[in-house]
């Protein structure tokens, strides 16, 4: 009888194990990642860090203090969660001076004909693959956000 109880207890422990691929970041851990980003600021006044990669998707934390380049990800969807600060997102239109900077990645200096939207903490954006987008920040503005990048066929 005791052997049976022991087997059931062991089976329960195995079932309670964290599944492969599961990841949990606490608020404290995320704050630490974000603090560390400030030391990684580049000449463009932005910093990013991939905090997790999982097959067809990854999670990135980002801090920006200046406008970014216009971007087109030909095979990636961006899902962005605005955490702090404000900026303008230009989405749609076209990138007249776009150049391939990496496989399936195009960058340029601006977007023509895009829609401008003001971003605030708590906002969520879904940017489909092949969609031009660009962060614009006024002097003194900052923005912190997380991006889930999903590779699509």
Please give the Cα distance from 51 to 147 (Å, whole number).
Answer: 10
Q: How many residues does the structure list for the chain?
A: 153
Instruction: Record the pTM.
Output: 0.84
Per-residue pLDDT tens over the stretch 34-67: 888 888 877 778 899 999 999 999 999 999 999 9
Please give the Cα distance from 103 to 99 (Å, whole number).
Answer: 11
Contact 114, 104 (CB under 8 A): no
Quote the distance between the C-alpha of residue 17 and its chain's center.
Answer: 28
For the chain, the domains span: 25-151
Per-residue pLDDT tens over the stretch 100-141: 999 999 999 999 999 999 999 999 999 999 999 999 999 999
CATH H superfamily, domain 25-151: Jelly Rolls (2.60.120.10)
């Amino acid at each position: 009888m005791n052997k049976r109880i022991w087997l059931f207890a062991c089976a329960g422990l195995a079932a309670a194990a964290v599944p492969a691929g599961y990841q949990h970041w606490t608020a404290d851990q995320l704050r630490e990642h974000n603090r560390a980003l400030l030391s990684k600021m580049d000449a463009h006044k932005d910093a990013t860090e991939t905090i997790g990669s999982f097959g067809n998707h990854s999670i990135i934390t980002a801090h920006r203090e200046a406008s970014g380049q216009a971007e087109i990800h030909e095979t990636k969807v961006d899902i962005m969660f605005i955490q702090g600060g404000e900026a303008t997102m230009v989405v749609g239109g076209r990138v007249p001076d776009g150049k391939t900077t990496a496989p399936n990645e195009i960058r340029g200096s601006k977007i023509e004909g895009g829609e401008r939207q003001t971003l605030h903490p708590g906002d969520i954006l879904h940017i489909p693959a092949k969609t031009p987008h660009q962060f614009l920040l006024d002097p003194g503005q900052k923005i912190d956000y997380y991006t889930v990048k999903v590779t699509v066929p």
